[in-house]
Amino acid sequence: MSRPWKSELRVQLGRGSTAVQRLAPWTRRVLDEARVQGAALQALPAALAALRERSEEPLPAQARLLVPDELAYLSLIERDGGWPAAHRAALDHFAATLGRTDLVVQVAAMPPGTNWLAAAIETGDLQAWQQALADAGVRLAHVELLLLDDLRRLAGQVPDEAIVALLRDEGSTLVRVERGTPVELRWERCDPRALRLIEQRLMAFQGGIVSSQPPGVWMLCGSDAQYAHWEHMARAHGWTLLRREAAPAQPEHGA
Amino acid sequence: MKRPPQLDFLAGAPRPWGGVALALLAALLLGAAALSSWRLDQANREALAALNEQAARRLPPAPRKLSEAERVRLAQAARVAGELRAPWGDLLATFEQHGQGDIGLLKLEPDAKSGLVRITGQARNAAALFAYLRELEAEPRLVRVALTTQQLERETPGQPLRFVIQAGWRGAPPASKELS
């Protein structure tokens, strides 16, 4: 159970780096951050150690971990009958498409109708994250999707008819929004620096080739470097370019 | 775009918070109703116990077997009570309302046990005495009226006839029963 009156760790995994942030109680303002390059299984313990060394205060007792798109299987399914039926349908979907029945599966209803986001992660990955945090004296309280975290941040800016392009470390996630809710989801594994490749796939997904009035594109960059890389292209197409978040606040010593 | 919900791999099925809240509210209301009912029941029990205690204090004790001495005392008390129940005022009025001017009553002696009354008086003369006697015999409240004695009082001025009349009265209580 979440305890908003206590400080919390926010763990953002990446294929090439892991960032761990110490968040304040209630406001969840970033008090400190440690980022370590490398694979998650090695980078996470190192980031926890770095954060602990930089403050006299002990690490928060609980953590929230965001799973990147690269480490999750994602799909939109239609199902009536509430959460149990949708969860059952998700299990069947991943068994049919991936041939896997050993995944950790969860579903979330996409408002307002019968669309559900089905997500699955490797059981081994979950256990490894729990163990790494437990070794540092931290309880893993929540395991959430970076995809939904980003969409929740963008919801107020994105219109009800739009294409959302989320640039990741190893590709991009494209989301078609109709009547205010995601109706199509596609993961494109590719080099996120390949401008022409992503441009073509994005335009195909947008329907710009066959439509004279395609929906607008909102592109989210994961870093300042990505933002600079895409700025010219986005301006040329009239895309809206966004950055996930500004740099974290300077660590507060003695707070 | 509508703000999508978050997804947590460590959470189970979403809780129907609306239903939980309603269930909690219902449980609270039921609990309050049960508590109120219990308190009312307790108050009723206490009131009933107090009433029972009051009633028990007012009821006479259960009868018990009497000793010989108690039976004698009770018989004497019953006799006195019977005599007290005799209509003395009524009797006196009955004897005084007859023989006006010619009869003077000296003594009235009722006997509640036998239901008889004995009067002693003076008559002016024999004619007045017998007229008084006839009036008493006709009195509906009296029975078995009888002149038991008469005597001329030569030494008393006017030489009246002194008499004693005995009579029973209607509605006299029966003789008290012997108690077992």
ipTM confidence: 0.88
Question: Considering Cα of A27, then A3, then A55, then A50, what sign does the dihedral take?
Answer: negative
Which residues, numbered 171 to 210 in chain A, qualify as contacts with chain B under a Cβ-Cβ cut-off of 8 Å?
177, 180-182
Does B10 sit within 8 Å of A111, measured CB to CB?
no
Q: How far apart are the C-alpha atoms of B112 and B116, rounded to whole Å?
A: 7
Alpha carbon of B13: minimum distance to chain A alpha carbons (Å): 7
Residue in this structure with the two tokens 């953002």, named with its chain if needed? A12
Does A151 sit within 8 Å of B4, measured CB to CB?
yes
Q: Of A247 and B168, which is predicted with more confidence? A: B168
Q: Among A106, A146, A163, A177, which would you mutate to test the B interface (most chain B Cβ atoms within 10 Å of its Cβ)?
A: A106
Angle between helices A40-53 and A123-135 (to 10 degrees): 20
Question: Considering Cα of A151, then A156, then A162, then A164, what sign does the dihedral take?
Answer: negative
Q: Does the pLDDT at position A123 exceed 80?
A: yes
Q: How far apart are the C-alpha atoms of B147 and B118, rounded to whole Å?
A: 10
pLDDT, one tens digit per residue, over B3-58 is: 999 999 999 877 766 667 777 888 888 888 888 888 988 888 888 888 888 877 77
Does A126 sit within 8 Å of B7, measured CB to CB?
no
Does A140 sit within 8 Å of B1, measured CB to CB?
no
pLDDT of residue A93: 95
Which tokens go with A139?
A: 């309880």
Among the residue ranges A138-142, A206-210, B69-73, B82-86, the one predicted with the least confidence is B82-86
Q: Among A67, A104, A144, A146, which would you mutate to test the B interface (most chain B Cβ atoms within 10 Å of its Cβ)?
A: A144
A vs B: CB pairs below 8 A: 70
Nearest Cα residue to A20 out of A57, A62, A75: A62
For B62, the enclosing helix (H) or strand (E) is none
Nearest Cα residue to A48 out of A4, A11, A3: A11
Q: How far apart are the C-alpha atoms of A76 and A19, rounded to whole Å?
A: 28
Pairing of strands A30-37, A17-23: antiparallel
Q: Among A67, A94, A151, which would you mutate to test the B interface (most chain B Cβ atoms within 10 Å of its Cβ)?
A: A151
